[in-house]
């Protein structure tokens, strides 16, 4: 009898696990459960869809029940797993029509993802109060935007999703207010010299910024009409909450060891504290190479890698995660910002004796008169060990590939001094002989 491997959750991490097993281990019996009606929705494209920068949502899916079943899996959609007997190795589930199911397993991969953080504020029950994560959420927002009466939109939360949606709604012809209790936008990823540039970019494109303000309540009769903060009142025909996510770990909560934020605690093989049970994606921890500690970093890239690792281990091939750096990026009205590892502020808050070096120069040689843009770079490093802790870059030029160098440097614990004479090639079409990476490293104290 072939070994049964069950995957609970079939979005990015779950899909990666399923594809890995199906492609490499045809002797395994593969079953998946997902409470949703679709698989593999790329939420990162949600703002592009809302803002009309792509024609529709069709390209935001890269897999489906049909694709996975054609490869040999059994996929139960619209089916929620309600309980797991880890001793007898049985999963209990219920379909949307109310039919109960029991599924035995030999190995189990939990890919239950994350859910939006919802605050218990007065007025949350009003119409046009939105959360955005699933395809259905985006679909609902786009449908409501067909109503011309929805003119003013307030976004609560100025992280990546909030900033991207601010651009999207403005492109859609709406008036946008971006609210956050933090003193700026994207503060979890960037230091102020970068967040200041993004804030200026948002203001120049008509976004009203309301930072260092805490939302106290929502007001309205049936539909939301106002957002009340501790300092001001803002008219709003729609309020979108982008206040972060927390791991969806209700299954086995009292049995599986967890991180302080509730994420399943896993080792480098994605193994949980229960034998033969693995966890992947937004419901799990990662090892952060920048801080050299177990951490929680919910990114689709991390999810996919963790799914691949868990699948191989569940099938008997030992594979360990090299850890992550939390590499990320954003592009708002052509202002591109990328980062990896720790910001200076975060490094210092974690107890590192951290310093940084900043440098600004044009991407290409000065005689290259066309398509030549300035780049700002910050490299964060530890004073004593000199090891690189993080990097941030900002430009209108596509400098995204540069962050991969720093991601690898952090993973391999490279010192900033190693970068000073690092062999970076030169050609006027691409960069300068004394490029900003080299010059930043040379200027490090």
> Strand 238-241 relative to strand 129-131: parallel, antiparallel, unpaired?
parallel
Distance CA 196, CA 213 (A): 17
Kindly name the residue from 12, 283, 312, 394 that is annotated as catalytic. Answer: 12
The answer to whether 394 is a known catalytic residue is no
The answer to whether 12 is a known catalytic residue is yes
Are 267 and 276 contacting, i.e. CB atoms less than 8 angstroms apart?
no
Burial class (CB in 10 A: 0-12, 13-18, 19+), 228: middle
Burial class (CB in 10 A: 0-12, 13-18, 19+), 354: buried
Distance CA 275, CA 273 (A): 6
Token readout for 285 is 């921890």
User: What is the chain's length?
Assistant: 445
Are 281 and 306 contacting, i.e. CB atoms less than 8 angstroms apart?
yes
Helices (H), 159-233: 160-171, 192-204
Q: Considering Cα of 221, then 222, then 226, then 227, what sign does the dihedral take?
A: positive
Query: Would you name the residues annotated as active-site residues?
Result: 12, 44
């Amino acid at each position: 009898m072939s070994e049964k491997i069950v995957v609970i959750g079939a979005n990015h991490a779950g899909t990666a696990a399923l594809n890995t097993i199906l492609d490499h281990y045809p002797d395994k019996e593969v079953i998946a459960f997902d409470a949703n009606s679709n698989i593999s929705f790329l939420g990162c494209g949600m703002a592009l869809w809302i803002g009309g920068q792509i024609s529709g949502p069709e390209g935001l899916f890269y897999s489906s029940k049909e694709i996975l079943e054609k490869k040999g899996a059994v996929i139960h959609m619209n089916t929620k797993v309600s309980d797991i007997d880890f001793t007898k190795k049985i999963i209990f589930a219920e379909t949307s029509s109310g039919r109960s199911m029991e599924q035995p397993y030999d190995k189990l991969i939990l890919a239950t993802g994350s859910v939006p953080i919802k605050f218990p504020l007065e007025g949350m029950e009003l119409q046009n109060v939105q959360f955005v994560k699933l395809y259905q959420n985006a679909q609902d927002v786009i449908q409501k935007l067909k109503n011309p009466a929805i003119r003013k939109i307030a976004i609560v939360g100025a992280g990546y999703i909030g900033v991207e949606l601010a651009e999207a709604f403005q492109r859609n012809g709406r008036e946008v207010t971006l609210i956050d209790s933090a003193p700026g936008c994207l503060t979890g990823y960037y230091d102020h010299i970068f967040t200041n540039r993004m804030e200026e970019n948002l203001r120049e494109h008509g976004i009203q910024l309301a930072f260092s303000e805490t939302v106290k309540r929502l007001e309205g009769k049936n539909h939301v009409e106002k957002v009340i903060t501790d300092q001001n009142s803002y008219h709003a025909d729609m309020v979108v909450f982008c206040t972060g996510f927390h791991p969806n770990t209700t299954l086995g909560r009292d049995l599986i060891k967890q991180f302080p934020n509730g994420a399943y605690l896993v080792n480098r093989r994605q193994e949980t504290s229960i034998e033969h049970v693995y966890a992947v994606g937004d419901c799990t921890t990662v090892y952060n190479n920048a801080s050299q500690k177990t951490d929680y970093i919910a990114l689709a890239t991390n999810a996919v890698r963790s799914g691949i690792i868990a699948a191989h281990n569940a099938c008997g091939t030992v594979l360990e995660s090299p850890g992550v750096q939390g590499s990320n990026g954003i592009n708002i009205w052509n202002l591109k910002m990328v980062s990896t590892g720790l910001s200076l502020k975060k490094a210092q808050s974690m107890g590192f004796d951290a310093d940084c070096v900043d440098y600004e120069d044009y991407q290409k040689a000065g005689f290259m008169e066309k398509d030549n843009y300035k780049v700002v770079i910050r490299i964060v490093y530890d004073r004593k060990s000199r090891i690189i802790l993080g990097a941030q870059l900002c430009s209108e030029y596509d400098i995204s590939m540069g962050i991969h160098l720093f991601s690898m440097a952090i993973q391999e614990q490279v010192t900033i001094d190693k970068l000073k004479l690092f062999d970076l090639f030169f050609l006027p079409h691409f960069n300068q002989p004394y490029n900003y990476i080299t010059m930043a490293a040379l200027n490090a104290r």
